[in-house]
Amino acid sequence: MDVNRHVKWPYWPVEVQVRESTEVEKGDLIFLDEVNNLRNNGSSTANHSAYPFSKLSGASGTLANNQYLAAYHFLGVAMEGSYGPSGSEAGVTQNIAVATTGHFSFPLKSPKSFKVASVVMPSGSGVTLFDQKVMMWESGSTYPLGYVTEGRTRGVSVTLLLRTGPCGHGRRIS
């Protein structure tokens, strides 16, 4: 899809590794695999690499758990793509820039009315998260990726100020 989702303000990128078997598109929401069991249905070893949200699959296998994990390990938005084995030599990792702050625009899972400072959270279907689609806060959940910067009535997309997880705050990845 390769969509430039950056709207305004500096985006302070970090450079992070993407494993050769992983495809990342420009505009993907990215998590950092910094603890064991974030991928492969809870049976992975942390490798401190970047992955799009759709690769996140914790052991509990619920959408709510994956939303929590995505928000907690949210690194930012991919500013460039990495296209796996066909785009690189086998066994070679690539580095990409991931924005950790700034204003970004994403489509919503379904149209919704929202106000400034409303919470934007990961969206998915079944237990799989979307790489480039978000949803507005739902009662009982607190999985923020960012906050709305302008209100709309029945909006189909939202502009948000990123709120990266603990891995995105003040940490430089190389």
Residues 97, 34, 163, 58, CA torsion sign: positive
pLDDT in tens, 154-169: 999 999 999 886 654 4
Structure tokens at 6: 């950056």
Pairwise CA distance, residues 6 & 106, whole Å: 9
For the beta carbon of residue 4, count every other beta carbon within 10 angstroms: 12
Pairwise CA distance, residues 57 & 117, whole Å: 29
pLDDT for res 30: 97
Lowest mean pLDDT among 44-58, 124-138, 139-153: 139-153
Pairwise CA distance, residues 76 & 10, whole Å: 13
Pairwise CA distance, residues 56 & 65, whole Å: 10
pLDDT in tens, 13-48: 999 999 988 999 999 999 999 999 999 888 899 999
Within 13 A of 103's CA, how many CA atoms are on the CB side? 10
Q: Dmax over Cα atoms in the chain, in whole Å?
A: 48
In three-state secondary structure terms, 76 is: strand
In whole numbers, what is the pLDDT of the chain averaged over residues?
87
Q: What percent of the chain has pLDDT over 70?
A: 89
pLDDT for res 143: 85
pLDDT for res 9: 84
pLDDT at 129 over 70: yes
| Mean predicted confidence (pLDDT) in 1-24 | 89
pLDDT in tens, 53-82: 999 987 778 999 999 999 999 999 999 998
| φ/ψ of residue 8, rounded to 5 | -160, 170
| Mean predicted confidence (pLDDT) in 145-151 | 92
